Structure 1
Amino acid sequence: MADKRELLILGGGLVGMTLALAAARRGMASHVVDRADPAELTAEGYDARASAISTASWHLFENIGLAERLEADACPISSIAVTDAMRPGRIDFTPQPHEGTLGRMFANRTLRLALFEAAKAEKLIAWHSSATVTSRERGEHGVAVTLADGTRLEASLMIGAEGRGSPTREDAGIAVAKWDYRHRAIIAGLAHEKPHDNVAWEIFYPAGPFALLPLLDDEAGRHRSAMVWTVAEDDAPGVLALSDRGFAVEVEKAMHGIFGAVEVMGERSSWPLGFHHTATITAARLALVGDAAHGIHPIAGQGLNLGLRDVGALVEVLADGMRLGLDPGDAQLLRRYETWRGLDAFSVALATDGLTRIFGVPGKLPSAVRRLGMGAIQRLPQLKGWFMDEARGVSGKLPEMLKG
């Protein structure tokens, strides 16, 4: 007899596994299917990326029992410095002491380890790793998938959480608006001579932003940051081919020496950058979360946080419906999720796309205009406060799980 559960989550990455844990907190059982091997995903050096976890997302981790496990590895973001190629007119987003930090930085590996450990211990999660889905079914009374080994999994609601190339989204025929920025993000870990003082830097160049994200000092006491350097697609092969010393020299130039001498730690990696947004995030007995629904430029570090807001909203909608005796796949529950998340996700996507294009215009006059606007924001505390609330993820209608 098939093990039918409330949720069938296809994709067990950061968003998909957080969803399974959040749903379990509300009494919902799930199948989580992922084609990756968790041992590979958590291996040293597999993924050099780091993620900024907003205040609201941290509340979600608190509410699902992950915060205590993660706290020791968190590097607080006390301020964000935004500058146009290090010219005069920068903005400093620094909250008041009573407002706390702007977020916390974690290596993606750290987040995965914590999520996977919690998932293994949660009885309401059936985790099917290294598994390939060969067929998907969505019917009037439920959903199902068949795996390559012949296993059949059933549930009331199917959730696509596989990321940008979501086969579940494609299988459902959901239309996607997308374009390629012709940019590539080069990711590397840096050790540097001077401390970062918990400041995240966003240095905008016409070719793309250069971001420095603070990390905790390593065991040897070296100061560390995660770097995300956006370069034109045509330039990426040359940048990646540089020797470690040559690469460090170019990084120091882009940083204008703010952290002193730099050493590259570990392997460099790169990721193509594009935009996509679905026409809808639901269909019959189907919901999309995270990058399966919306892929944005990493310019503001909001991609993962946007997916975690999806998680909080979807779990709240489903839990509210089940208290009323509704099936998790009920159409009216999915409409509520669509209404709640559709506009917010689209607004953030448009904002990040707009920033990418505005700062990508070369020339002295566009730079002067940008810096004039940035100077105005720097002098207006209320406007700065609004931007900081957006960065912390505490604006708008928040799901209960994302509240402190």
Structure 2
Amino acid sequence: MASKRESEASQNTRLDVLIAGAGYVGLAAAVSLKQARPALRVAIVDAAPAGVWQKDGRASAIAAAASRMLDQLGVWAEIAPGAQAITEMIVTDSRTADPVRPVFLTFDGEIAPGEPFAHMVANRDLNGALRRQADKLGIDLIEGVAVQSFDAGGGGLTVHLADGAALRARLLVAADGVNSKLRDMAGIKTVKWEYGQSGIVCTVAHERPHNGRAEEHFLPAGPFATLPLKPDKDGTNRSSIVWTERTDDARKLVEGDDLVFEMELEQRFGLKLGEIRAVDKPRAWPLGLTLARDFVAPRIALAGDAAHGIHPIAGQGLNLGFKDVAALAEVIVEADRLGQDIGALDVLERYQQWRRFDTMQMGVTTDVLNRLFSNDIAPLRAVRDIGLGIVERMPRLKEFFIRQASGLGGDTPRLLKGEAI
């Protein structure tokens, strides 16, 4: 965004909402608030250098509810041409060396005729579209500057930035990731543990088309997910993989010989789509569970990974963050319309009550699933495979799970239904 706008934001010490973090959650929160209440003075500050988001070659699964929200925010039309619909999902449970992987569970990929339960979207496309919409709405973005501290008082917060600037805001939204510094500054404790696993992510090219099918193979070291991507500009068939391995093994795989990596990849991916090859450098991230004990403090609200970091086994991390955005925006906008103080704790408690139980439930669910499926204990294998088989034979139960995965289960905020606040 223009340097003039950044300069204006640095000098403007009177804001309604300051959002720390210019990832998808922070950008979506800013756009949601400004679109619904143009009079709100909203700004974003981000510690990452300008342009670093353009180097992200990964892709994310966007549930149907999140795509409805993005459509309501005016960005889905820009994203949709490059998005790949997930038309089918299959689940297998096997060992790495097994010659055959029996399919225990299949899901139709639609929640309504013509509406897939999820799409795969390039991170660059998602971030870029949200940034351009934020710019159109006049949202200030200050990049390459971290929040150093903040002081409460006088009906607001004074936020001190690392470059010496000070901003005054009625509400500070921490969307600065799973290792949130603002969460720590606010004195909010977390429940946290590591899994001893890392998630390897890369893009794979293959000979034959995937036809929109996603696959999740439960292997002893952790799930191996294959997620369909739109073909490249030259027509190359592509998929994204999220490969869970024990942390030491993952480090050796991504830092070791490329040939060894591709051999191990082929053993897990298989040759059903013909010859395969990694088209970018694989990277690995440590996996764990982080749940904030509180989502709010006086004049502070946590959103996205700052509030919850969960295992990717269900592909719900980003979608939980968008659910936070939709709920927080609805609470703030309604409070502002009623003339209430948007940073007051009683207002923010409404957001916490809406989101905390759902998030805790998802955190516990992914934790249990990971522990249940990331092992090779024979009795557990038998129990889980019977369980998958039972679900496969119960259409209504499958429909329930698809609806939950689409983000449309429970008390859904308006934006996730595709409705304006």
SS at match of 1:275: strand
Distance 1:273 1:80 in 2: 23
Structure 2 partner of 1:100: 115
**Alignment partners' CA distance in 2, 1:305 and 1:277:** 16
Alignment-derived partner of residue 198 in structure 2: 184
The residue aligned with 2:49 is 37
Q: Deviations over 1:12-35 (max 9, x none)?
A: 111101100111111132120101
Q: 1:296 corresponds to which residue?
A: 310
Matched to 2:185, the amino acid is D
The worse-fitting range, judged by mean Cα deviation, of 183-192 and 257-266 is 257-266
Does residue 78 (structure 1) correspond to residue 87 (structure 2)? The answer is: yes
> Which stretch of structure 1 is more off in the superposition, 95-104 or 170-179?
95-104
Please show how residues 188-267 of structure 1 align to structure 2 within 5 Å: 188-267=202-281
Where do 1:5-404 residues align within 5 Å?
A: 5-27=15-37, 28-42=40-54, 46-85=55-94, 87-95=101-109, 98=113, 100-123=115-138, 125-404=139-418
CA contact (8 A) 1:31 1:153 kept: no
**C-alpha contact (below 8 Å) 1:312/1:402 kept by paired residues:** yes
**Worse overlay, 12-21 or 28-37:** 28-37
Amino acid at match of 1:105: M
CA shift, 1:121, in A, is: 2.4
RMSD: 1.5
How far the C-alpha of 1:244 sits from its partner, in A, is 3.0
Q: TM-score, normalised by structure 2?
A: 0.92
In 1, Cα distance between equivalents of 2:361 and 2:147: 33
CA distance in 1, matches of 2:259, 2:205: 13
CA contact (8 A) 1:8 1:32 kept: yes
Which amino acid in 2 is paired with 1:267? Answer: K
Paired amino acid for 1:398:
T
Relative to structure 2, which stretch is displaced further, 80-89 or 307-316?
A: 80-89
Q: Which whole-Å deviations, capped at 9, do the CAs of 1:209-234 have from their partners, x for residues lacking one?
A: 10111100111211100111111012
How many pairs were matched up?
Answer: 400
By how many angstroms is 1:140 displaced?
4.7
| CA deviation profile, 1:141-184 (whole Å, cap 9, x unmatched) | 00121122221111111111100111110001111000000111
Amino acid at match of 1:69: E
Q: Does structure 1 conserve the Cα–Cα contact (< 8 Å) formed by 2:253 and 2:260? A: no
AA matched with 2:118: G
What CA distance in whole angstroms lies between the structure 2 residues aligned with 1:146 and 1:215?
42
Q: State the SS of the aligned residue for 2:271.
A: coil
Q: Which moved more, 1:161-170 or 1:248-257?
A: 248-257
Which has the higher mean CA deviation after the structures are superposed, 242-251 or 111-120? Answer: 242-251
Partner letter of residue 110 of structure 1?
D
State the alpha-carbon separation in 2 of the partners of residues 126 and 89 from structure 1: 50
- Whether contact under 8 Å (1:252, 1:260) holds in the other structure is no
In structure 1, C-alpha distance between the alignment counterparts of 2:21 and 2:255, rounded to whole Å:
33
